[in-house]
Amino acid sequence: MLSLMQAESGSSDEATLDALATLIDAYERKRFPIEQPDPIDYLKFAMDQRGLTVSDLVPFIGQPNRVYEVLSGKRGLSIQMIRRLHRGLGIPLEVLIAEPKRA
């Protein structure tokens, strides 16, 4: 007997696998929702993953002092910064426009 993961396209096993995957996805979304990340935490993560420095963010955010203010949470992201970060670094807009989780 073939396992469901090896089901042939168009077979009843494939339909069963698809139904199970849909049910599991719905269950996980309800029981274990994933919150949007904090925009600044995401930006720091992207910097770390890509090996970026404060200087690398200057074209997107502005002068180094402004980059430091944004990264420390003292200054919010402006619309222009959000657009540049999205276009230049591919950071999702829904992450960048999320309300920061900081006080």
Please check whether residues 62 and 81 belong to one and the same domain.
yes
Residue range(s) defining the domain that contains residue 62: 39-96
Q: Report, as an integer, the average pLDDT of 23-33.
A: 93
The pLDDT tens digits for 45-103 are 999 999 999 999 999 999 999 999 999 999 999 999 999 999 999 999 999 999 887 64
**What pLDDT is attached to residue 1?**
39
Q: Encode 55-85: b = buried (16+ Cβ within 10 Å), e = exposed.
A: eebeebbbeeebbeebbeeebebeeebbebb
Please check whether residues 12 and 27 belong to one and the same domain.
yes
Q: Report, as an integer, the average pLDDT of 17-41.
A: 92
Question: Does residue 13 contact residue 1 with C-beta atoms inside 8 Å?
Answer: no
Please check whether residues 43 and 25 belong to one and the same domain.
no
String of DSSP letters for 67-80: HHHHHHTSSPPPHH
Q: Point out the least confidently predicted range of 4-8, 30-34, 93-97.
A: 4-8
- What CATH number should be reported for the domain holding residue 64? 1.10.260.40
Please check whether residues 59 and 85 belong to one and the same domain.
yes
Q: Is residue 21 part of a domain?
A: yes
State yes or no: pLDDT of 17 exceeds 60: yes
Distance CA 7, CA 82 (A): 44
Radius of gyration of the chain (CA): 21
The count of domains in the chain is 2
> Which residue has better confidence, 4 or 53?
53
